[in-house]
Structure 1
């Protein structure tokens, strides 16, 4: 073999070795790249896993999160329920307090309503005669007079309703029990020294016939059987003792 041939053979081997070295290097580079990519892809996978976890978290937030939100709402609901319960309890307490106060007030009213009625023995009666109290003798169709009742006792008493009024003549032989009006009435409480009154519609006359001349009036307080006798201060009345709707009649107290 000549020297040239030997030289070419050496060059070829050198080229092949170099090529093999390059191939090996390339292979190592590719392996390294694949490893890097795999390594890179692994964090990427982990990132996706994290994202999936976040997505799952969002799903949990949507379900579990909603459950948590629902739980939070439940807590809020419980808190709200507690607050509402407290408010309702407070409101109930207030209502109870009001009801208690009302019951107490009613009890006070009950105590007030427990005041005894006015008895004849604790009252005095008189016709109101001062100022314009006198009935007009010239009135057409009737006029009125007032009887004043005063609590002369030391305790309050209650009075209301129709008193009985019997007119009687000088010798007491002729009596006239006055009818009652259809007026509605209530009741009032008289403290010691307080007064109230009721009116009597009267039909006066100046005629010398068909008249009735009272001398006294027996006044019986409502629900009592004993009367107070007071002097009649006015003139004569049209005698309507037998009339169905006389012009002289009694109105209620209160």
Structure 2
């Protein structure tokens, strides 16, 4: 090859290398401009699902804010939705229970003194044994004389009175538990009074009447005392004469 041809060949290769270098530089310049102008663009070949999976696996905790949907897996999202529904149902149930006071109302009013009739049970085995040693019992019957059903339960008040009313004895109450019952019109219930009868001519108390006050009321019904004298224990801490509850 002649020297002239050699020079031409080298020159052409030099021009091609220079052109390739210019092309590569232009490409780099365009890539840099594209990256700065499209801020927030995602790298090619990566989706939101991939980023969320990486974050949930601990590969990129900064990929999403804690508690965001992007950080949770599809299964976690489903569980969260189920928990949210359960919580909402629980709140509604709690509100309904609070509005109803924790129990359903029967709609039956309590028994009032004006709607009741009271009397001592005096027939058959209801009468106390006058020869009983220590203590015996008597019963007071309460009857619903009204036109509607009513509910009653608890301790009635019982005050014994002397003939002239000057000497009163408010009877103590037992520690017995009680419930409540519903009395329809004409229905009756009763409560008992433990009494300590005596035939002694000293240390006795002779009632003439008993004022019976139904539970949760302030008005009383006065009935005659049909039995004998009682051991006077008006000042005793634990008297043998005391009232038991209704129900």
- Name the SS of the counterpart of 2:73 in structure 1: helix
Alignment of 1:208-223 (within 5 A): 208-223=201-216
- Name the SS of the counterpart of 1:70 in structure 2: helix
**What is the Cα deviation at residue 204 of structure 1?**
0.9
* Structure 1 pair 168–106 and aligned structure 2 pair: CA distance change class (3 A): closer
Equivalence for 2:198: 205
Could you tell which deviates more after superposition, 232-241 or 118-127? 232-241
Within the candidate set 160, 170, 176, 2:168 is matched to: 176
* Structure 1 pair 70–86 and aligned structure 2 pair: CA distance change class (3 A): closer
Q: Say if 1:201 and 1:250, in contact at 8 Å, map to a contact too.
A: yes
**What is the Cα deviation at residue 81 of structure 1?**
2.1
- Asked if residue 234 in structure 1 is aligned to residue 224 in structure 2, the reply is no
Q: How many residues align?
A: 188
**What is the Cα deviation at residue 97 of structure 1?**
4.8
Q: Say if 2:52 and 2:72, in contact at 8 Å, map to a contact too.
A: no
- Name the SS of the counterpart of 1:85 in structure 2: helix
Equivalence for 1:98: 93
- Asked if residue 143 in structure 1 is aligned to residue 170 in structure 2, the reply is no
Q: Computing the radius of gyration over CA atoms, which structure comes out larger, 1 or 2?
A: 1
Alignment of 1:110-189 (within 5 A): 111-112=105-106, 116-169=109-162, 171-173=163-165, 175-181=167-173, 183=175, 188=180
Q: Say if 2:120 and 2:140, in contact at 8 Å, map to a contact too.
A: yes
- Name the SS of the counterpart of 1:144 in structure 2: strand
Tell me how far apart the structure 2 counterparts of residues 104 and 156 of structure 1 sit (CA, whole Å): 25
Tell me how far apart the structure 2 counterparts of residues 108 and 154 of structure 1 sit (CA, whole Å): 26
TM-score in terms of structure 1 length = 0.56
Q: Say if 1:150 and 1:196, in contact at 8 Å, map to a contact too.
A: yes
| Unmatched tracts of structure 2, length 5 or more | 1-46, 58-69
Within the candidate set 72, 84, 93, 1:89 is matched to: 84
* Structure 1 pair 145–81 and aligned structure 2 pair: CA distance change class (3 A): same
Alignment deviations for residues 94-116 of structure 1 (CA, whole Å, 9 cap, x no partner): 4245335534653763x44x865
**What is the Cα deviation at residue 73 of structure 1?**
7.0
* Structure 1 pair 244–94 and aligned structure 2 pair: CA distance change class (3 A): closer
Q: Say if 2:137 and 2:194, in contact at 8 Å, map to a contact too.
A: yes
Say what the alpha-carbon RMSD is for the aligned residues: 3.9
Tell me how far apart the structure 1 counterparts of residues 76 and 153 of structure 2 sit (CA, whole Å): 54
Alignment of 1:61-76 (within 5 A): 70=53
TM-score in terms of structure 2 length = 0.57
- Name the SS of the counterpart of 2:228 in structure 1: coil
Q: Say if 2:128 and 2:138, in contact at 8 Å, map to a contact too.
A: yes
- Name the SS of the counterpart of 1:89 in structure 2: helix
* Structure 1 pair 245–174 and aligned structure 2 pair: CA distance change class (3 A): farther
- Name the SS of the counterpart of 1:153 in structure 2: coil
Which has the larger share of helix? 1
Could you tell which deviates more after superposition, 94-103 or 217-226? 94-103
